[in-house]
Amino acid sequence: MSEGNPRILIVDDREENRYVLGRVLRQAGYHCSEIASGIDALNAAQTLPDLMILDVRLPDMSGYEVCQQIKRDERTAQISILQISASFVSSEDRARALEAGADGYLTHPIDRKVLVATVRALLRLRAAESVARKSAEQWQATFDALSEGLALVDVEGRLVRWNGAFAEICGPDFAGAPGKDAGTMLDQVLGSSEALRHRGPERYQAEYSIEQRTVQLSASQVDPENADAGKVLVLSDITDRKLAEYALRTAEKIAATGKLAHAIAHEINNPLEALTNLLYLAESSKSLEMIHDLLSHASSEVDRIARITKQTLSFQRDTQHPLALDVGELVAEVVAVYQKSATARRVRVVCHRRPTTVIRGFPGQLSQVFSNLVRNAAEAAPNGSEVVVRVRSVCRHGREGTRVTIHDRGKGIPLEVRKKLFDPFFTTKELKGSGLGLWVSKNLIMKHDGTIRFRTATTMGASGTTFEVFLPVDGVASRGLNEDD
């Protein structure tokens, strides 16, 4: 639609008619040009006026034909056409004009008010059409410009439309045609049409491979309330993201290994230096008592090195396949072993277990976790007190699993210590601790897709700490764990 005043072409071979129509319309504020023949009308149509008032009887060709040609040409089809004829035309003539594509029809004598009102109505209609067309064009352009593939599937499971990205991501196997069965198409391209069989308001999402690439397909209902209103398929190529994630994971693993190796070397170096000094002193010492003292010191340094290597070695070693295991039984064994050890005499560890569902996991790693936690609790517990271990099945955030809590009535964990608790080599036990227990435990629990957390209170008389481990039934499977993880 032209800017400012709408432009109207008046096509009539009789000058007096053109004059009357032009005068009325100019007075109504329109910009009018006058033309006397069909051929000139067709030429002038190329300048895209907003409306053409077209007499049915022209000297060189009929008004119907002019109308038909204008409407047939895509470029000029949007021009509104108001056909005008003499008073005594039949209703067939009228019908013919409208079938030729005219938007309105008036007969002489024309009332000026009716003329202006009709012109206004036609221009309004044209403006509305142009807005609708523009937004449809914008929508189509947006649809095509998306880098994600989109396809619309109707109630019967037939393809309605799709954008360029959809066809591109599908690759050479995509042979889409409107009305084609979308299930067959998905089977050909992805090897599965599961997405279309999925029922329910929540979105279906899955990853597939097309040749060397990984794609993600999601399917949602067009109308979330109504399962029978067709589906929208969204297809994205996530190969780059997958590669980046893999690279990041590998880089993280390498960085973590490097950091651990560095930290271990550093931690072992301290007692080694102490050992060297102590042995040197022992060698050059004359007093047997002194030598005895130095050697017992040396022995505790060796113990510390042993503790560090034991924790890290078992952490690295346990990489056999996960097994089906009863966590309650495993915890009971850990407690029994701990009870037998000489260090355990001052504290009693009791285990309350309910029957639990079997989970999949690495028994060696989980034993290490629970013995770390039991030992920490026993070390924190006051003489003669009890450490209480509880095992039961729970469902957390919709996931079945086993919960183990280890409770002691020690002094609790001071605020400034809490943040560093899971850091490697963080210990408050000086030479007696490795500071690796919780760090290793956390890593192992994460491998099982579980969680580890604690509650602690430092209030005198009501102090204590509870560590809680949650292990989902199929955690190792959901982490996609394999031997080299």
277: Cα within 13 Å, side-chain hemisphere: 8
Q: Which is nearer to ligand ADP, 11 or 438 (CB)?
A: 438
Which of Mg ion, ligand ADP, none interacts with 428 (beta carbon under 5 to 8 A by kind)?
ligand ADP
CB neighbours of residue 418 within 10 Å: 12
Q: Which is nearer to Mg ion, 133 or 310 (CB)?
A: 310
Instruction: Give the CA distances from residue 219 to residues 74, 196, 265, 295, in Å, rounded to whole numbers and listed in that order.
Output: 37, 7, 52, 71
To the nearest whole angstrom, how small is the minimum distance from the Cβ of residue 267 to ligand ADP? 11
Closest residue by Cα to residue 83 from 61, 68, 104: 104
Site string for Mg ion, 423-442 (x = CB under 5 A): --------------x-----
Site string for Mg ion, 368-387 (x = CB under 5 A): --------x-----------
3-state secondary structure of 403: strand
To the nearest whole angstrom, how small is the minimum distance from the Cβ of residue 453 to ligand ADP? 12
Closest residue by Cα to residue 104 from 129, 114, 131: 114
Closest residue by Cα to residue 393 from 368, 428, 448, 356: 356
Site string for Mg ion, 93-132 (x = CB under 5 A): ----------------------------------------
To the nearest whole angstrom, how small is the minimum distance from the Cβ of residue 320 to ligand ADP? 25
Residue least distant from Mg ion (Cβ): 437
The amino acid sitting at 256 is A
Residue least distant from ligand ADP (Cβ): 437
Distance CA 207, CA 216 (A): 4
To the nearest whole angstrom, how small is the minimum distance from the Cβ of residue 306 to ligand ADP? 13
To the nearest whole angstrom, how small is the minimum distance from the Cβ of residue 443 to ligand ADP? 11
3-state secondary structure of 200: coil
> What does the block give as tokens for 396?
């957390």
In the sheet where 31-35 sits, what is the strand order? Answer: 31-35, 7-11, 51-55, 80-85, 104-107
> What does the block give as tokens for 216?
């993600």
Residues that bind ligand ADP (CB under 6 A): 372, 376-377, 380, 408, 410, 413, 417, 421, 426-429, 433-439, 465
Distance CA 404, CA 401 (A): 10
Q: Which is nearer to ligand ADP, 208 or 425 (CB)?
A: 425
To the nearest whole angstrom, how small is the minimum distance from the Cβ of residue 252 to ligand ADP? 21
Q: Which is nearer to ligand ADP, 198 or 447 (CB)?
A: 447
Q: Which is nearer to ligand ADP, 68 or 443 (CB)?
A: 443
> What does the block give as tokens for 49?
């006026």
Binding residues for Mg ion, per CB under 5 A?
376, 437
